[in-house]
């Protein structure tokens, strides 16, 4: 039995090329499909049909939109830095696709008479490759905002980049938990290590931290502050049009698929069949081409959650968002890592009795409590009269105005009913306008 890496090393060049093209096509097709799915699902959630004109069920809508974008005028602001402005969309698109290379889509299969694995490359440092790719994607954001030479994109790009890097820490730390169990950075090894149990329930804290940070990392709702339309127009790509804009859009959706696929690989057993199915006929559904189905299915589960979140949750404020990242996710993962490492070490050391283990954990908990007490959060304002001054020197009125409680409703004989009903269509229309065509 050969390992995945050895199998892939035997691939002839033509097979590698086929895989490369397949992965690229997968990324593009998933993007087109996701845009359609997102608009349809959000539409359903808002009691409207969503795009349903182009093709069956409106499936070709995104393709039509993409083609339309290509035939739009390509505008470059005069103030822009020409080369960097051109480079930015390219830089943001390439790493998004590269991250796919280490994702295992399935186990070994026979493809055109050649025995190989459904994975482009199986590097011993696979997880680092994905993290490196996502940190390279930051360049596209930063450079596009700067090169546009106008204030909104610059602000948007700074916000966006600060957001991505903040949540990348949380994401990287949550993955350490997985590595502590799998003892390998290779993605195929991680999937193999989950044969006995998927990591989402073996490592619940890591899973939750990863799931939150993957939404933050891809700048998606409710963490889509970089493109907060009300504040920043469109965010870092405000000045981009035509196919350059399309590339940013493509990169965003491919990144979404990548983090979902990585979540599947790390926590949901990758291409493994879910439990009742995996028991059928001695695991026949875990061999051959079947696993692709499970893999894509699980990935779609995460993608659906992305859409679901967008349809459900309002956008966070920037300070709330940063607080969640730095003050909750990072310390929680650090403590969790030390906990797993400790339990690993204790259970692997011979001659340690259960009593000693319990004492050890007790000491650990006491240390944690002391540590937690050292972290006072609330800083009480020392003088109440203080009026905050903004950067421009204008004093700001205190924002702590307490809203009086709304008076209890009293049912009047007839009058209030129609007034309430009149409100509704307007509110619905406003909601439609806000989110309706936000996806393009």
Partner 1 sequence: MTGAELVFVPLGAVALGSSVLVVTTDQLVRAALWLVVALGALAGCFLLLAAELVAWVQVLIYVGAVVVLLLFGIMLTRAPIGRSVDLDSGNRVAALVVALGTAGTLVTVVVGGFRTASIDLGDGSAGSAGTVGAGLFRYWVLPFELLSVLLLAALVGAIVLSRRDIGPRARDGGED
Partner 2 sequence: MLQAYVPLVLLFALAGAFALFSVAAAPYIGPRRYNKAKLDAYECGIEPSPQPIVGGGRMPVAYYLTAMLFILFDIEMVFLYPFAVSANALGMFGLVEIALFVATVGFAYAYVWRRGGLDWN
Touching partner 2, residues 127-156 (CB under 8 A):
127-128, 148-152, 154-155
CB 213 within 8 A of CB 164: no
By CB under 8 A, the residues from 291 to 320 that bind partner 2 are 318-319
Strand partners, 116: 109
Minimum CB separation of residue 146 from partner 1 in Å reads 6
DSSP 58: G
Select from partner 2, partner 1, none the partner in contact with residue 142, using the beta carbon and a kind-dependent cut-off of 5 to 8 Å. partner 1
Structure tokens at 329: 């996710």
Q: What's the CA gap between 137 and 29, in Å, rounded? A: 20
Select from partner 1, partner 2, none the partner in contact with residue 358, using the beta carbon and a kind-dependent cut-off of 5 to 8 Å. none
Q: Is 78 helix (H, G, I), strand (E, B) or coil?
A: coil
User: In the complex with partner 2, which residue's Cβ is closer, 396 or 414?
Assistant: 396
Select from partner 2, partner 1, none the partner in contact with residue 11, using the beta carbon and a kind-dependent cut-off of 5 to 8 Å. partner 2
CB 129 within 8 A of CB 97: no
Residues that contact partner 1, how many (by CB under 8 A)? 33
Phi, psi of 71 (to 5 degrees): -95, 20
Q: Where are the alpha helices (DSSP H) in 194-289?
A: 199-202, 204-217, 229-232, 242-267, 275-278
Per-residue mark of binding to partner 1, 70-99 (x: CB under 8 A): ---------xxx-xx--x------------
By CB under 8 A, the residues from 176 to 215 that bind partner 1 are 184-185
C-alpha pair distances (Å), 151 with each of 95, 130, 244, 292: 26, 31, 19, 45
Element (H, E) at 110: strand 106-111
Structure tokens at 155: 């602000």
Select from partner 1, partner 2, none the partner in contact with residue 147, using the beta carbon and a kind-dependent cut-off of 5 to 8 Å. partner 1
- Considering only 11, 65, 217, 224, the residue that binds partner 2 (CB under 8 A) is 11
Q: What's the CA gap between 346 and 427, in Å, rounded? A: 59
Element (H, E) at 117: strand 114-118
Minimum CB separation of residue 388 from partner 2 in Å reads 8
- Considering only 34, 35, 42, 173, the residue that binds partner 2 (CB under 8 A) is 173
Applying CB under 8 A, does 184 fall inside the site for partner 2? yes
Applying CB under 8 A, does 172 fall inside the site for partner 2? yes
Q: What's the CA gap between 170 and 210, in Å, rounded? A: 7
Minimum CB separation of residue 387 from partner 2 in Å reads 14
Per-residue mark of binding to partner 1, 95-124 (x: CB under 8 A): ----------------------------xx
Applying CB under 8 A, does 223 fall inside the site for partner 2? no
User: In the complex with partner 2, which residue's Cβ is closer, 51 or 177?
Assistant: 177
Q: Where are the alpha helices (DSSP H) in 10-125?
A: 13-45, 61-70, 82-98
By CB under 8 A, the residues from 379 to 408 that bind partner 2 are 379, 391
Applying CB under 8 A, does 260 fall inside the site for partner 2? no
Minimum CB separation of residue 426 from partner 2 in Å reads 24
User: In the complex with partner 2, which residue's Cβ is closer, 50 or 95?
Assistant: 95
CB 245 within 8 A of CB 69: yes
Select from partner 1, partner 2, none the partner in contact with residue 368, using the beta carbon and a kind-dependent cut-off of 5 to 8 Å. none
Alpha-carbon torsion 319, 322, 326, 332, what sign?
positive
C-alpha pair distances (Å), 326 with each of 168, 205, 246, 330, 331: 11, 16, 32, 5, 8
Per-residue mark of binding to partner 1, 230-249 (x: CB under 8 A): --------------------
Select from partner 2, partner 1, none the partner in contact with residue 139, using the beta carbon and a kind-dependent cut-off of 5 to 8 Å. partner 1
Looking at 56-64, 144-152, 193-201, 279-287, which segment touches partner 1 (CB under 8 A)?
Answer: 144-152
Minimum CB separation of residue 159 from partner 2 in Å reads 8
Within 8 A by CB and 6+ apart from 401, the residues are: none
Q: What's the CA gap between 229 and 234, in Å, rounded? A: 6
Applying CB under 8 A, does 222 fall inside the site for partner 2? no
Within 8 A by CB and 6+ apart from 82, the residues are: 76
Phi, psi of 118 (to 5 degrees): -85, 65
Select from partner 2, partner 1, none the partner in contact with residue 89, using the beta carbon and a kind-dependent cut-off of 5 to 8 Å. partner 2
Q: What is the largest CA-CA distance in the chain?
A: 83
Residue linked to tokens 């004109």: 53
Q: In the complex, which residues of this chain contact partner 1 (CB under 8 A)?
A: 79-81, 83-84, 87, 123-125, 128-129, 131-132, 135-136, 138-139, 142-143, 145-147, 149, 154, 157-158, 161, 165, 184-185, 386, 390-391
């Amino acid at each position: 039995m050969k390992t995945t890496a050895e199998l892939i090393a035997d691939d002839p060049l033509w097979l590698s090329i086929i895989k490369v093209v397949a992965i690229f096509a997968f990324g593009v097709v998933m993007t087109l499909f996701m845009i359609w799915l997102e608009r349809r699902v959000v539409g359903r959630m808002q009691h409207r049909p969503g795009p349903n004109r182009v093709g069956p069920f409106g499936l070709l809508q995104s393709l039509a939109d993409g083609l339309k974008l290509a035939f739009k005028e390509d505008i470059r602001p005069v103030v822009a830095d020409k080369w960097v402005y051109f480079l930015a969309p390219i830089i943001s698109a390439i790493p998004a696709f590269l991250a796919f290379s280490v994702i295992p889509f399935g186990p070994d299969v026979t493809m055109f008479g050649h025995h190989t694995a459904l994975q482009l490359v199986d590097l011993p440092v696979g997880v680092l490759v994905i993290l490196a790719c996502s940190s390279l994607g930051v360049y596209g954001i930063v450079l596009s905002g700067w090169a546009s030479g106008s204030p909104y994109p610059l602000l948007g790009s700074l916000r966006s980049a600060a957001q991505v890097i903040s949540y990348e820490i949380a994401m990287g730390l949550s993955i350490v938990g997985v590595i502590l169990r799998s003892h390998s950075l290779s993605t195929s090894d991680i999937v193999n290590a989950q044969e006995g149990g998927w990591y989402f329930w073996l490592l619940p804290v890591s899973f939750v931290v990863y799931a939150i940070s993957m939404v933050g990392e891809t700048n998606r709702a409710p963490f889509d502050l970089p493109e907060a339309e009300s504040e920043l127009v469109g965010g870092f790509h405000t000045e981009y049009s035509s196919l350059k804009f399309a590339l940013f859009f493509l990169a965003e959706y491919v990144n979404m698929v990548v983090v979902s696929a990585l979540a599947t690989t790390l926590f949901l057993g990758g291409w493994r069949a879910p439990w009742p199915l995996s028991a059928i006929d001695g695991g026949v559904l875990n061999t051959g081409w079947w696993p692709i189905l499970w893999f894509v299915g699980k990935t779609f589960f995460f993608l659906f959650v992305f859409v679901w979140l967008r349809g459900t949750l309002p956008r966070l404020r920037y300070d709330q968002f940063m607080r969640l990242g730095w003050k909750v996710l990072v310390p929680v993962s650090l403590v969790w890592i030390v906990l797993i490492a400790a339990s690993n070490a204790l259970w692997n050391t011979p001659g340690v009795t259960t009593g000693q283990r319990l004492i050890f954990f007790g000491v650990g908990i006491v240390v944690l409590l002391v540590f937690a007490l050292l972290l006072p959060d609330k800083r009480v304002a020392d003088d109440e009269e203080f009026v905050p001054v903004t950067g421009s020197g204008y004093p700001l009125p205190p924002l702590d105005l307490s809203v009086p409680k709304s008076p209890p409703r009293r049912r009047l004989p007839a009058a209030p009913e129609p007034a309430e009903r009149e409100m509704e269509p307007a509110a619905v229309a406003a909601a439609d306008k806000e989110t309706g065509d936000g996806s393009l």
